[in-house]
Amino acid sequence: MGSLANQTLPTIAFSSQNLEVGSSSWVSTSKEVVLALEEFGCFIATYTNFSPQLHHAIFQASEELFDLPTHVKMLNTSDTPSHGYVGQEPVVPLYEGLGIENSTTEQGVDRFTRILWPSGNETFREAALEYSKVVAGLDKVVMTMVSEVYGIRNAYESLHETTSYLLRFIKYIAPAGDEAGLGIVPHTDKSFTSILHQRQVKGLQAMTKAGDWVGVDPSPSTFVVMAGDACMAFTNGRIEPSYHRVMIEGSEERYSLGLFAFIRDVEIQVPEELVDEDHPLQFKPFDNYKYVHFYYTEEGRRSKCPIRAYCGV
């Protein structure tokens, strides 16, 4: 595994100007987004609708969540592997995470909050819902831009209607000793898209096509927007997912958040606009959640490229 390259990911600002659909800055930003995703599978974003207050509120909520006793956190279960509580795993001993399914909806956040705090926790509930809605807004802008450039806006819009967002709260404890510890093993996300947000402590690294790791420094106003495996299949291989990992150094705990978009109820299918003689069909229609289940089987875990193993042509 290579050392850290002296390189940074592209940064794209989403401001009130370029958020106006169809404006000339919307069009030029859309091209930037596609270039960044095709080259890196991810990029850094700033987003005008995200405030420092919300940054503060959501990490405050995160701390409160992780301060609950382990047996309470373990009540966060899910039918989907890795969507609920994960902690004390021998392969990633520094990692602990919880997930709110359908976190952009009142029902999703209410359900989670009631399970963890039976007598309620209004500040947590509000922060989680608000954060999910705002960041999901960024996700929608990014993918609308991508679909516009590729001429597949309708296909994306029908997928977006059935998107279910998973908000994961993540905490890494510091490794014992001076050596950097592996916070999360190198992987691509199984989602359609993912948006990560880190607090203070660095650790996230993404791999370039040349095979170098690039560090992504935390900032209260930036996100990392990533393509997942499902996005690669949808775009017929045009956008490859970001291969990333977390390395933890120093003695500080690291808190991060991931908002993952998964497509529910409908199969993801390559739009016909993306298939021609030069771009033969690479993926069969597939179900995003069944794919997650496949990934956690012996075959899925062993596979070098699980999405191709699952639904590659």
Nearer to ligand AKG, 168 or 238 (CB): 168
Smallest gap from Cβ 198 to Fe ion, in A, equals: 12
User: Which C-beta is closer to ligand AKG: that of 126 or that of 249?
Assistant: 249
Q: What part of residues 38-57 is at the interface with ligand AKG (CB under 6 A)?
A: none
Bridge-based pairing state of the strands 11-14 and 42-47: parallel
CB-based burial label for 78 (10 Å; 0-12, 13-18, 19+): middle
Rounded to an integer, what distance in angstroms lies between the CA atom of residue 239 and that of residue 231? 7
Is the Cβ of residue 96 or residue 189 nearer to Fe ion in the bound state? 189
**What amino acid occupies position 102?**
N
**62 is a contact residue toward ligand AKG (CB under 6 A):** no
Return d(Cα 264, Cα 165) in angstroms, integer.
10
**Cα–Cα dist 272/281, whole Å:** 9
In 226-264, which positions are buried (b, 16+ CB within 10 angstroms) versus exposed (e)?
bbbbbbbbbbbbbbbbbbbbbbbbeeebbbbbbbbbbbe
State yes or no: residue 100 binds ligand AKG (CB under 6 A): no
Position with the least CB separation from ligand AKG: 256
Give CA–CA dist 142/159, Å, rounded: 14
Contact map string, positions 177 to 196, toward ligand AKG, x by CB under 6 A = -------x----x------x
198 binding ligand AKG? (CB under 6 A): yes
In a 3-state reduction of DSSP, which class is residue 158? helix
**Closest separation between CB of residue 51 and ligand AKG, Å?**
21
Tokens 């976190």 belong to which residue? 103
Measured from the CB of residue 54, what is the shortest distance to ligand AKG in angstroms? 18
One symbol per residue from 148 to 177: x for binding ligand AKG (CB under 6 A), - otherwise; what is it? --------------------x-x-------
**Which amino acid makes up residue 231?**
C
204: contact with ligand AKG by CB under 6 A: yes
Using CB distances below 5 to 8 A depending on partner kind, what does residue 94 bind out of ligand AKG, Fe ion, none?
Answer: none
Taking the least distance from each CB to ligand AKG, the nearer of 196 and 292 is 196
Nearest-CB residue for Fe ion: 189
CA–CA separation, 193 and 231 (whole Å): 7
- Site mask for ligand AKG (CB under 6 A), range 213-252, x = bound: -------------------------------x-x------
Nearest distance in Å: CB 11, ligand AKG: 17
Residues at the site binding Fe ion, with contacts judged by CB under 5 A? 189
Closest CA to 195 of 137, 135, 248, 144: 135
Closest approach, Cβ 136 to Fe ion, in A, equals 17
Measured in degrees and rounded to the nearest 5, phi and psi for residue 296 equal -90, 10
Two tokens at 173? 């404890």
- Which positions touch ligand AKG (CB under 6 A)? 168, 170, 184, 189, 196, 198, 204, 244, 246, 256, 258
